[in-house]
Amino acid sequence: MSELVTKTVGQEQQEQKIETPSGVERNAGFTIVATAAAVLAVFVATAAHAQDKYSLKSPSGIAFSDFRGYEDWAVVSSARTDDVLKVIVANPKMITAYKAGVPGDGQPFPEGSMIVKLQWKPKKSTEAQFAVDVPDVFKQAFVMEKDSKRFPKTGGWGYAVFNYDAASDKFTADPQSLSDCGNTCHTAVKAKDYIFHPYQKR
């Protein structure tokens, strides 16, 4: 009888050893949990940062989120002033209209067309074998969207400017965008549905 009791106690001790994690196992488990938490925190912070610009709205109520994905839109044209290097891109709906001949013969762009003028401060290339200006610091996204119901007084187009600050890596809605050269300047090309840049041959 005592052997049976002894054996049972021994078995219980063995089971406790199996069920109770060692210090090494506890530390390994803690490390995995801590690492997972850190990765999740970085992911959340990155996602929040990436979404930050799309939470912005201009004083006129134009949401930057309307232009989500503009980074990958097709190029319409480019332009250069003394101070700014510009690349003009448009959403797929507007590109399709361009390819169909709009704004030729006074045809308007369809509702939902969007165009973005991306603006960089230029710099002289230090690598090219010839004199050439290349983009340096990104400065601004000038946006336009066609929505005749929302913008009946400006030819159906809404205008906004979103500034970028390289030091903080953040966008802000330009507080002066209501008086920015939007519809006032674009009235000069009213016959082209207020759009300066044609879709350039390529």
DSSP sequence for the chain: -HHHHHHHHHHHHHHHHHHSPPHHHHHHHHHHHHHHHHHHHHHHHHHHHHHHGGG-B-TT--BGGGGTTGGGSEEEEEEE-SS-EEEEEE-HHHHHHHHTTTTGGGPPPPTT-EEEEEEEEEEE-SSSSS--EEEEEEEEEEEEEE-TTT-GGGTTEEEEEEEEETTTTEEEE-TTTTTSSSHHHHGGGGGGTT--------
Tokens of 130: 């010839």
Specify whether 33 is located in the same domain as 78: no
User: What pLDDT score was predicted for residue 94?
Assistant: 98
Q: What is the pLDDT of residue 26?
A: 54
- Print the domain residue range for 134: 64-192
Q: Are 87 and 169 part of one and the same domain? A: yes
- CB-based burial label for 97 (10 Å; 0-12, 13-18, 19+): buried
Say yes or no: 72 and 120 in one domain.
yes
What does the pLDDT read at residue 33? 46
Domain termination residue (choose one: 11, 29, 53):
53
Largest Cα separation within the chain, whole Å, is 107
C-beta separation of 161 from 142 below 8 A: yes
Is residue 200 included in any domain, yes or no? no
One domain for residues 92 and 184: yes
Span between the terminal Cα atoms of the chain, in Å: 96
Give domain status of residue 49, yes or no: yes
Whether 39 is in a domain gets the answer: yes
Same domain, 116 and 178: yes
Q: Which residues of the chain have pLDDT under 50?
A: 2-6, 18, 28, 31, 33-49, 51
pLDDT at 86: 97
Answer yes or no: do 48 and 72 share one domain: no
Query: Do 105 and 38 fall into the same domain?
Result: no
Provide the domain count of the chain: 2
In a domain, 101, yes or no: yes
Q: pLDDT at position 181, please?
A: 72
Give the residues across from 133 on adjacent strands: 124
Residue 169 and residue 73 in one domain:
yes
Residues recorded for the chain: 202
Is 73 in the same domain as 143?
A: yes
Q: Is residue 118 part of a domain?
A: yes
Instruction: Based on the fold, state whether residues 71 and 171 are members of the same structural domain.
Output: yes
75 and 166 in a single domain? The answer is: yes
Are 166 and 74 in the same domain?
Answer: yes
